[in-house]
């Protein structure tokens, strides 16, 4: 009999219920903000917050109110402004539709090739290209002064320097062929046909427009 008194009485196992997630999910209050709260929302916005947040931060000083079922919001509901995407207007085409494009002509101005639009309705004249086969601009930029070392005999050059020698020297220096007719040799202001003595001379290349260079002639020691 004593053994029956101390016999363990079986008990029913009570199922455990997890309240953490459910309590957090439903323990919210639906409120409307009556002021702006940077970390919560905008004035007029309706949202669900914790009771502690409503009690400690939002409700004091009339910062928020509860949404009562069956009653509308106290103030107009906040609506987030829509973002406006601005599209740049397409540039309008100026001119007559299907108008023919202006023609281009090539002009060689002292060796400089330029493309200039030409309107045939205004003029029908054509600009004739220059007959020069070299670029005067390239000569002006790339060609330096010419220097010659020659032998003297009785105070004069043993072999005079003529225009053909000048043209050959230019060809050697910058690989540009210049006709002898476009070469002018001067000593001071006087035009000469060839160089017969040592010294400094003026070289002009071209016809109407000219490239100006210097020629230095020294005797070999």
* pLDDT confidence of residue 124: 42
Residues 6+ apart with CB under 8 A from 110: 130, 132, 135, 136, 137, 206, 208, 209
Determine the average pLDDT of the residues in 55-59. 84
pLDDT higher than threshold 60 for residue 7: no
Domain boundaries 136-219, CATH class: alpha beta
Global pTM reads 0.40
* pLDDT confidence of residue 18: 55
Q: Categorize the per-residue pLDDT at 160 as very low, low, confident or very high, splitting at 50, 70 and 90.
A: very high
Cβ contact 181:193 at 8 Å: no
Determine the average pLDDT of the residues in 51-61. 83
Where are the domain boundaries for CATH 3.40.5.10 in the chain? 21-66
User: What is the CATH topology of the domain spanning 21-66?
Assistant: Ribosomal Protein L9; domain 1 (3.40.5)
pLDDT higher than threshold 90 for residue 202: yes
Where are the domain boundaries for CATH 3.10.430.100 in the chain? 136-219
DSSP reduced 3-state for 218: strand
Cβ contact 34:42 at 8 Å: no
Determine the average pLDDT of the residues in 6-26. 54
**Tens digits of per-residue pLDDT, 70-106?**
877 888 888 877 777 777 777 766 655 666 666 666 5
**Tens digits of per-residue pLDDT, 111-135?**
444 444 555 444 444 444 445 567 7
Q: Which two tokens stand for residue 3?
A: 């053994």
- DSSP-derived pairing of the beta strands 46-50 and 161-162: unpaired
Cβ contact 140:211 at 8 Å: yes
* pLDDT confidence of residue 216: 94
């Amino acid at each position: 009999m004593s053994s029956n008194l101390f016999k363990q009485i079986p008990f029913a196992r009570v199922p455990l219920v997890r309240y953490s997630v459910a309590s957090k999910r439903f323990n919210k209050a639906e409120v409307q903000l009556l002021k702006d709260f940077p970390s919560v929302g905008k004035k007029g916005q309706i949202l669900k917050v914790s009771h502690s947040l409503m009690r400690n931060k939002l409700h004091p000083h009339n910062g928020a109110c509860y949404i009562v079922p069956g009653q509308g919001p106290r103030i107009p509901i906040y609506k987030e402004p829509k973002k406006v995407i601005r599209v740049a207007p397409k540039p309008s085409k100026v001119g007559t539709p299907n108008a023919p494009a202006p023609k281009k002509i090539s002009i060689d101005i002292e060796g400089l090739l330029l493309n200039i639009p030409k309107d045939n309705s205004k003029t029908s004249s054509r600009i004739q290209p220059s007959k020069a086969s070299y670029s005067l601009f390239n000569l002006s930029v790339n060609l330096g002064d010419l220097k010659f070392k020659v032998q003297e005999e009785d105070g004069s050059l043993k072999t005079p320097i003529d225009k053909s020698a000048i043209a050959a020297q230019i060809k050697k220096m910058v690989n540009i062929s210049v006709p002898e007719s476009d070469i002018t040799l001067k000593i001071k202001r006087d035009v000469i046909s060839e160089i017969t003595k040592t010294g400094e001379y003026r070289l002009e290349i071209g016809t109407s427009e000219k490239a100006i260079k210097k020629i230095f002639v020294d005797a070999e020691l």
